[in-house]
Structure 1
Amino acid sequence: MSDRSGQQPFHTADLGHAPVVTAPDGAAVHPLLVLEGSGSLAVFALAPGQVSHAVSHATVQELWHVTAGSGELWRRQGAREETVRLVPGTAASIPLGTAFQFRADEDSDGPLRITAVTMPPWPGTDGEARPEEGRWKASAEG
């Protein structure tokens, strides 16, 4: 919450102390930081061989940066769709309303780990993540 001058307080987060929640798509999520009205930062993880549920977002869009593991991301907007490789260093956008699904490679040394910025901040789970028809059969809890 901002103070009377309109300034927001400083916040610092540590991934090792962040809570773990399950996203509607089944990924493990560590929520880290929120800038009121601007965006939120979280780290998502899928274990090797896991496949998320396909979803689209009602009000938010995201920017992803892969920091560990490997896998694939499928995205669809209307008739346009693509699948891209996810490896450390890959960045990808999830524009508003895009159907998407991701999966971690079975032979990965560890989880597929993605740092994501959500704009505006994640509003909660009620109706934000809408189920979609995906490319792969989901295996993650969701």
Structure 2
Amino acid sequence: MSFPAEPTVVAPDGADVRVLLGVPAGTMAHFELAAGKTARAIVHRTVDEVWFIVAGRGEMWRRQGDREETVPLDPGVCLTIPVGTQFQFRASASVRVAAVAMTMPPWPGAQEAVFVRGPWEASDGEAVAPSDAA
């Protein structure tokens, strides 16, 4: 397939997603967040993800149990988001951030994401969805 010219969908966290390819064990997608934007903080119910940053700059916050960290997102950085890990990412003020990611098993749909409280206010102004707070 060719890279889609337009986003296929907007992820529950607010990122633009271009769905790429999939197999029974997983799917691949391209995620992009515009300059100055912050995604909503979420945790996945059943999927693991592996991200590879392909363009731009930003930061990713992750928390799993007692472990919490913020990782700079620059081209070439690869990171994991194991199931049950709370995470939130944001683009730098001046440039977008883009990643190619694998989701295993395949992404089951919007109900997979549970909104949580992250360290930053999301661009949509929501810290936590009132009905979905974990």
Distance 1:20 1:120 in 2: 19
Q: Report the equivalent of 1:134.
A: 118
Aligned sequence identity (%): 49
Q: CA RMSD in A?
A: 1.6
Matching residue within 44, 54, 60 for 2:41 = 54
Once the two structures are TM-superposed, the CA of residue 78 in structure 1 deviates from its matched residue by 1.6
Among 29, 47, 54, which residue is 1:67 paired with? 54
Alignment of 1:1-142 (within 5 A): 13-17=1-5, 19-36=7-24, 38-108=25-95, 111-126=96-111, 128-140=112-124
User: 1:80-125: CA deviations, max 9, x gaps?
Assistant: 10001000000010001000000000122xx211100000010111
TM-score, normalised relative to structure 2? 0.89
Q: Which runs of 5+ in 1 are unaligned?
A: 1-12
Specify every segment of 5 or more residues in structure 2 that has no aligned partner in the other structure, as ranges.
127-134
Does structure 2 conserve the Cα–Cα contact (< 8 Å) formed by 1:99 and 1:132?
yes
Higher alpha-carbon Rg: 1
Give the structure 1 partner of residue 132 of structure 2: none
Contact 2:7–2:16 (Cα < 8 Å) also in 1: no
Give yes or no for contact 1:39–1:120 (8 Å, CA) kept in 2: yes
Letter in 2 for 1:131: F
Say whether the 8 Å CA contact 2:61–2:70 is kept in structure 1: yes
1 CA distance for matches of 2:76 and 2:86? 22
Q: 1:17: how far off?
A: 4.7
8 Å Cα contact 1:33/1:42 also seen in 2? yes
| Secondary structure in 1 matching 2:4 | helix
Q: Which residue of 1 aligns with 2:131?
A: none
